[in-house]
A and B are shown apart, each in its own frame.
Chain A
């Protein structure tokens, strides 16, 4: 048995965000001011995979002798390209100010906040390492280890070229589980504010045989965000794939259906 709720999978894959790119005003070198650029970016993709066009458009307006690698910034916050775009968007709480306006920079690369990304191969290797880590947690690397190089490539190309069928043809093997045997652990990451993400070993089934739910996970990992027993109003919101989810959803299902292509369940915690 494996991920079978194709509607939800498709909805996750089809999630897109309208983005407006503008060049940082102090980096405009030419007399002409560049036009802003609008793009729909898939939530599940990564910034370096979709910003080639942006790079081409804005590079004409900067000093040809003094520019480095392109990086993006949102309200003074450099965007970490190694997180999926959906996670970046949710964490920026930009839902209220659509389209999401990002500033394009070619100078003053924030060395201490961002990794360099010289080519798409860097993204690929990062992505593959995430997939391998997830499979290590789920199946003790049994499945990813048995795959051929060709399958890895197909996984990556499916993502890069936004091909749902191609990607899931391989990815469903990674999501496989039998009835008696759930994932060993649920690969997840909790993003909360500016701090580093939180990651723990959580089994999909508790010791007494009950399915572990999203609520259980939050209680286990970040108890401080849950509403106090005395007050009903919660101080934090928990968002996965841009949606607030009911706490009784079992983790196994969540992991299978709402994970990003890197096979991790990215959980965003935002203050209410």
Chain B
């Protein structure tokens, strides 16, 4: 390890020799070098400054000399000064004038500016008025366009009407000719008839005379005692069956049925009151027979593809008609329970379907805003009546057989003659119409409206005769059905809270409130026997009400 020390000392020696000897020297040199450098710079700066000062000095000298030279021409200068002063005063004067002019001009400018502002304001006003006028013009043009289009439309319509009118005129003329022809023929026939009648009359008179003569002759021969007859013949026709039953208002629910899955939309006693049918959301129509307090299922009618909305028997109880939400009506034959007809053609759900008085005719009312008449023999739609609003219920007048009444969403009752295309009469009600029913004598129409009122309309005057309302009576749906009792003394309807209200028509008062349903009541039916009631609700249940 000696060599380490040796190396270190040699290095130190090297440094002593090469380094230490020069460090101080070189540092001093560097210091001097830098200071010399600094002095150099300072010197250069000073030289430049000196140059500048010299230059300045020179300039000053030149100036001084020039000043000294001017001192000699004093007189001249005084003269010059005088003339200059004069000039100066002249200038001052002119300056005053100029400033006056300037003031005048400024005033003029101000006036002009005022004018300008006024003009601008005017321009602004005019612009606004132009804008208004433009707008008015635009409006006018718009109006003109509208008027022109309206005019066009009216013109078109007028043309169409003209065409229709000419064709109708043509028809009318033909009919008149035909009429004339018929009248003349009829007249001829009449006259022939009259002749015949006269001849016959003559004959009869003759015979009578002959007989009289004979009788007189006989009478003259014998004396007879004659007893006078006591009365004249009674009319064979009387008011139909309805009054022959005793109508009672039951107060007990004697049976509660779970008839369908889901809503029960329709319930209906058969005309004989022996069986009844129910229709529900489960797409089925079920037939039941009420024996005492029991209800026996008689059959299930399937075939509907959607909820059944109304059911209806024909008078002979051989057919059952059901309207369905699948846009169709179906007819089953009753003893056989076979689907006989499917009447398709509506383009929306069918809310009501009824047999027309004539055999084999059916009318249906749908949400597609039409009523359709169907012929069961040809299985065709024979007529479409355009009602213009969704039909909620319809009735056919049995007594007249040909009048249809429909109740609509647009609060209108419409009266139709199936032979004519157009509505015969309209009555505007207070609310959307949910159901219709005729009184047994066919003189009063019941209409149940969505404003929770039941209106009775006298069909002779077509005026609302009575309105039945009750606290707590609120309709549960758009097709809540209300009915008359078989004698027309009572009206029965179910409320949205499940209560059933029975009104006395004569007294215009609620006769009875029946509570059994727990859900909104959709429909009810009064048996022809007068003492059994049926009602159904939105939650499967059908209740039979009776007093025995």
B-binding residues in A (CB < 8 A)? 5, 7-8, 11-12, 14-18, 35, 37-40, 95, 98-99, 241-246, 248-249, 253, 258
Contact = CB atoms under 8 A, between A and B. Distances in A.
Contact of B30 (A11, A38, A241, A253): A38
Contact of A245 (B10, B12, B18): B10
26 contacts: A5-B4, A7-B8, A11-B11, A11-B15, A12-B11, A15-B18, A16-B23, A18-B19, A18-B22, A37-B33, A38-B30, A38-B33, A40-B19, A95-B17, A95-B18, A98-B21, A99-B22, A242-B11, A242-B14, A243-B11, A243-B13, A243-B14, A244-B10, A245-B7, A248-B3, A249-B7
Given A35-B33, A246-B3, A17 B19 contact: yes
B6 interface: yes
Query: Counting chain A CB atoms within 10 Å of each CB, which of B17, B21, B33 scores highest?
Result: B33
Interface string B33-77: 100100000000000000000000000000000000000000000
B29 A38 contact: yes
B465 to A, nearest CB: 108
Nearest to A240: B7
DSSP class of B's interface residues: helix, strand, loop or mixed?
Answer: helix
Contacts of A243: 7, 10-11, 13-14
A157 to B, nearest CB: 24
Given A5-B4, A8-B7, A18 B18 contact: yes
A245 B378 CA distance: 138
Nearest to B2: A246
B25 A241 contact: no
A62 B14 CA distance: 36
Interface residues of B, number: 24
Given A18-B25, A40-B26, A11 B19 contact: no
A151 B154 CA distance: 99
Interface centre among B7, B10, B27, B29 (most CB of A within 10 A): B7
B10 A16 contact: no
A138 to B, nearest CB: 21
B26 A15 contact: no
Instruction: Give the dominant DSSP class at A's interface.
Output: mixed
Contacts of A253: 4
Given A11-B8, A98-B22, A245-B10, A16 B3 contact: no
A99 B19 CA distance: 9
B533 to A, nearest CB: 101
Contacts of B23: 16, 18, 40
B1 to A, nearest CB: 10
A164 to B, nearest CB: 15
Contacts, number: 77
Contacts of B25: 18, 38
Given A16-B15, A38-B29, A39-B26, A8 B8 contact: yes
Given A15-B11, A16-B15, A99-B22, 17 more contacts: A5-B4, A8-B4, A8-B7, A8-B8, A15-B15, A16-B18, A16-B19, A17-B18, A18-B21, A18-B22, A37-B33, A39-B26, A40-B19, A241-B14, A242-B11, A244-B10, A246-B3
Contacts of A241: 11, 14
The 7 A-B pairs at the shortest CB distance, nearest first, are namely A18-B22, A243-B10, A11-B11, A38-B29, A38-B26, A242-B14, A16-B19
Contacts of B27: 40
Nearest to B28: A38
Nearest to A250: B3
A17 B351 CA distance: 121
A248 B4 CA distance: 11
Point out which of A18, A241, A244 has the most chain B C-beta atoms below 10 A from its C-beta. Answer: A18
B10 to A, nearest CB: 4
Contacts of B10: 243-245
Contacts of B7: 8, 243, 245-246, 249, 258
A245 B18 CA distance: 17
Contacts of B36: 35
Given A37-B33, A40-B22, A15 B14 contact: yes
A251 to B, nearest CB: 12
A95 B22 CA distance: 13
A98 B8 CA distance: 22
Nearest to B13: A243
A153 B36 CA distance: 37
B435 to A, nearest CB: 95
Contacts of B14: 15, 241-243
Nearest to B15: A15
A12 B19 CA distance: 12
Nearest to B26: A38
A211 to B, nearest CB: 12
A18 B29 CA distance: 12
B26 to A, nearest CB: 4
Contacts of A15: 11, 14-15, 18-19
A242 B18 contact: yes
Q: Which of B12, B14, B29 has the most CB of A within 10 A?
A: B14
Nearest to A246: B3
A188 to B, nearest CB: 16
Given A35-B33, A38-B26, A38-B30, A8 B19 contact: no
B18 to A, nearest CB: 6
A95 B14 CA distance: 9
Contact of A8 (B11, B13, B17, B21): B11
B427 to A, nearest CB: 101
Contact of A11 (B6, B12, B18): B12
B253 to A, nearest CB: 97
B26 A18 contact: yes
Nearest to A214: B3
A143 B44 CA distance: 56
A37 B36 CA distance: 12
Interface in B468-503: none
A39 B3 CA distance: 32
Nearest to B23: A40
Nearest to A247: B3
Contacts of B21: 18, 98
Contacts of B17: 95
Contacts of A16: 15, 18-19, 23
A106 B30 CA distance: 23
A17 to B, nearest CB: 6
A18 B3 CA distance: 27
Contacts of B6: 245-246
A245 B19 contact: no
Contacts of A35: 33, 36
Contacts of B15: 11, 14-16
B23 to A, nearest CB: 6
A241 B289 CA distance: 133
Contacts of A98: 18, 21-22
